[in-house]
């Protein structure tokens, strides 16, 4: 089964405190990326969510991309197309998996 992330973006949608960010993740990000895309709750860090999706997600006309792909945190890297996390995210967004 082929999954095209650029027409999907499903795993970048979620609730507040959806993706935890560690100190190691933070080190990979530039200062502007940290300011734009990371939020703090108590002493824990998360990706900032805006309108139900990660603030770093660029979504336009059914085309999706990550504004900090090279510096995305570890949990994002673990979601491989076709993985259980991917399928769950797609199901949550009610996307068809027949492509
Ligand atoms: S990993 Fe899966 S859920 Fe995430 S963008 Fe790619 S196809 Fe969509
Ligand atoms: S950092 Fe990139 S890959 Fe991770 S949730 Fe945000 S937009 Fe998606």
97 falls within a domain: no
pLDDT at 44: 97
Burial class (CB in 10 A: 0-12, 13-18, 19+), 59: middle
Two tokens, residue 28 = 């990979």
| Ligand 1 atom at minimal distance to the Cα of residue 79 | 1
19 falls within a domain: yes
pLDDT at 51: 94
**Which residue has the least CA distance to atom 5 on ligand 2?**
12
Burial class (CB in 10 A: 0-12, 13-18, 19+), 29: buried
| Nearby residues of 74 by Cβ (< 8 Å), 6 or more positions away | 22, 24, 25
12 Cβ below 6 A of ligand 2 = yes
98 falls within a domain: no
In this predicted structure, the answer to whether residue 41 has a pLDDT above a threshold of 80 is yes
Quick one: average pLDDT of 21-50?
A: 97
pLDDT confidence band for 54 (50 / 70 / 90): very high
10 falls within a domain: yes
User: Total domain count for the chain?
Assistant: 1
Q: Which domain holds residue 42?
A: 5-92
Compare 10 and 98 and report the one with higher pLDDT: 10
* Percent of the chain's residues with pLDDT above 90: 92
């Amino acid at each position: 089964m082929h999954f095209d992330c650029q027409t999907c973006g499903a795993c970048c949608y979620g609730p507040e405190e959806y993706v935890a960010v560690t100190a190691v993740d933070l080190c990979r990000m530039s200062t502007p990326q940290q300011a734009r895309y990371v939020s703090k709750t108590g002493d824990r860090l998360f990706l900032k969510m805006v309108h139900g999706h990660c603030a770093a997600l660029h979504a336009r006309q059914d085309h999706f991309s990550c504004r900090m792909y090279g510096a995305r945190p570890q949990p994002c890297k673990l979601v491989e197309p076709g993985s259980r996390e991917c399928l769950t995210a797609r199901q949550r967004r009610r996307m068809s998996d027949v492509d």
